[in-house]
Structure 1
């Protein structure tokens, strides 16, 4: 029995020793390696980066106005003879072609123009025959050169008188005997008609007998109040809507600013040139206009795509030279216009802002800071 115990005691001691060694090793804490997220160069190359810039703060300004015909493409027609209107062939709103007869006026002046042309035509024919006879006599020695030259001068005078009377008749519409034809000098729509059959017309009438306008593009004359004069500039884009087409937007640009104030309404006029496909816009139509308001002071601006909204606050990720290479910056946004945010505080001109995958990076940095 003692021999058996002697034989197993060393084995037991060995097992206890091994167990003790194992236990002592397990109770020792192995230090963990700390890690911190950083923005690597390879990741940075895949990101979109915007730069904060200083630019004038822009907002919208709302104006009213009305549609007017384009004065550069409008013809106001004044007959140059007096008489009685015997026939009116068109009415307001009609489309007319160039040279189309709009009305006919019976005028004694036209009879005089026609008679003058006929008389001058006969005088020119007689003067021509006399010149030919004088030339024949001069060549045969029966007439002097002076007589021939005088006959030629008479013919030149008669020809000039005929050409003048023909030009006067043509300017006044040609016509036949006593009729004067009022014709459209340009194609377009009749937007004004100031005549009727049997009406007497005098050349000193202040209103045109017809007004014809090309309405392929029109003017929108908008009212600018005194407080908004400094906010608009020539070339500014303008968006307009009308009561007739509330769901349709018409675009144009401020073509001219009239630098005078109306003494009664205290408003300044600005002109917007608007393309008018389909002739939807009519003269005298009321319009609402929306333009950009310019400010004299600059403010830091960034693209709104890089802004993060979290817990009722705005944040951006600003690139830095120190690790982790990016920091979270809280900003105050004063206004957002057409994809650009104007920042009141939190950024400086030249700051570089991460504008893609910014939510993932923001969450990673936020978790790390907790």
Structure 2
């Protein structure tokens, strides 16, 4: 029997497999188009010409807004009986933070009792002097002296009551330490049963509002000429790698730190939802003077990094999608400047560009 008869079925199988493989390959390289359904899941961006900005990165840290910091001290010495606030708590103005039982407060209570008693006695003496004056039994001098004693007693009574109100003195020799402002307790140096001296200079509580914070950037001597007040900045943190905070430099401290040999620049930021915590490290990207050079500019999110190269997906005039390699000159946060690979006016796929790129590059 001819051996070719045995080989024929195998060849036919191979040819059939090759035919299917070729057909599949043709299906894979079939161009994709920007259909109405695809438009629902992607966004489109336009390539524009922009003046390229120069950015410089500085190391920074989040700090309290010093204009909103209140330090709370104890006016009287004594024993701490209660503490109602911990670090991190939000307190309102007038809220009791701690209570101190003090012998000095007991002295003020004694003064108030004496002032009340003297006021009562002076009032009675004045009434008696007025009655006797009307009946001719007391001289005008005696009446005037009674009025003066009444005025002095009321003045002393008012003085002691003002002390009560200012220092929030309560009964049982208690002195209530209240929050002078609304904000967060950022430091506490008092505990229950602690003994407080009247001459203690250390604050018991530190309260600060976090609605606004400062970001202090360190500027090295070689970069001082590049930093100016009013310069736009963008700020990133390790805690929120995908989020940028924007602001401007509102103050440049024109002096160098003796140890670090750096100058400080301040950025005020509105701290929505209290995302920024004092003590956080931050990268501060300062926009320096523009070079005046215009370049092709795209959204950084339009870029696709693959195999050490950068690509974009371009929507051509016939609505077909095409992958183009681009050369990125520099990146400035949300924007990237392109030196070659695309032209002004090109339409790029933005959101979900990576999914489209993968579909166009099916092996």
| Paired residues of 1:78 and 1:208 also in contact (CA < 8 A) | yes
Distance of aligned partners of 1:159 and 1:245 in 2 relative to their CA distance in 1, 3 Å threshold:
same
Unaligned runs of 5+ in 2: 1-50, 298-328, 338-343, 347-363
1:340 Cα offset (Å): 12
Q: Equivalent of 2:163, from 168, 191, 196?
A: 168
Q: Give 1:301 deviation, angstroms.
A: 5.5
Whether the 8 Å CA contact 1:260–1:268 is kept in 2: the answer is yes
Matched, 1:292 2:297: no
Matching residue of 1:144: 139
Please give the alpha-carbon distance, in whole angstroms, between the structure 1 residues aligned to 2:53 and 2:200.
Answer: 50
Is the Cα contact below 8 Å between 1:69 and 1:283 reproduced in 2? yes
**CA shift at 1:70, angstroms?**
1.2
- Write the mapping of 1:211-226 to structure 2, written as runs, cut at 5 A: 211-226=206-221
Q: Look up the match of 1:42.
A: none
Following TM superposition, by how much is the alpha carbon of 1:142 offset from its aligned partner in structure 2, in angstroms? Answer: 2.1
Q: How does 1:177-326 map to 2 (within 5 A)?
A: 177-294=172-289
Shift of 1:303: 7.9
- On the 8 A contact 1:218/1:274 being kept in 2, the answer is yes
Aligned length: 261
Distance of 1:232 and 1:116 partners within structure 2: 60
Contact persistence 1:304–1:336 (CA under 8 A): no
Q: For residues 107 and 339 of structure 1, what CA distance do their matches in structure 2 show? A: 63
Q: Deviation digits for residues 240-276 of structure 1, max 9, x if unmatched? A: 1111111111122222222221101001112211111
Could you give the per-residue CA deviations for residues 15-52 of structure 1, whole angstroms, max 9, x where no partner exists? Answer: xxxxxxxxxxxxxxxxxxxxxxxxxxxxxxxxxxxxxx
Kept in 2: contact 1:81–1:172 (CA 8 A): no
Structure 1 residues 254 and 206, CA, compared in 2 at 3 Å: closer, same or farther? farther
2-structure distance, mates of 1:276, 1:153: 58
Q: 1:220 to 1:336 in 2, by over 3 A?
A: closer
Q: What's the CA shift string for 1:128-147, capped at 9, x where partnerless?
A: 11112212222332222111
Instruction: Note closer, same or farther for the CA distance 1:215–1:267 as it changes in structure 2 (3 Å cut).
Output: same
4+ runs of 1 displaced by more than 6 Å?
Answer: 334-341
Whether 2:76 is the aligned partner of 1:81: answer: yes
CA contact (8 A) 2:231 2:288 kept: no
Q: Which residue of 1 aligns with 2:101?
A: 106
Q: Using the TM superposition, give the Cα deviation of residue 58 of structure 1 relative to its aligned residue in structure 2, in angstroms.
A: 5.1
**Aligned pairs (5 A) from 1:53-72:** 59-72=54-67
- Provide the alpha-carbon RMSD of the alignment: 2.8
Tell me, yes or no, if the aligned pair for 2:101 and 2:172 is still in contact at 8 Å.
Answer: no
* Whole-angstrom distance in 1 between the partners of 2:105 and 2:208: 28
- Rounded to whole Å, the distance in 2 between the matches of 1:229 and 1:300 is 21
Give the Cα–Cα distance (whole angstroms) in 1 for the partners of residues 143 and 232 of structure 2: 73
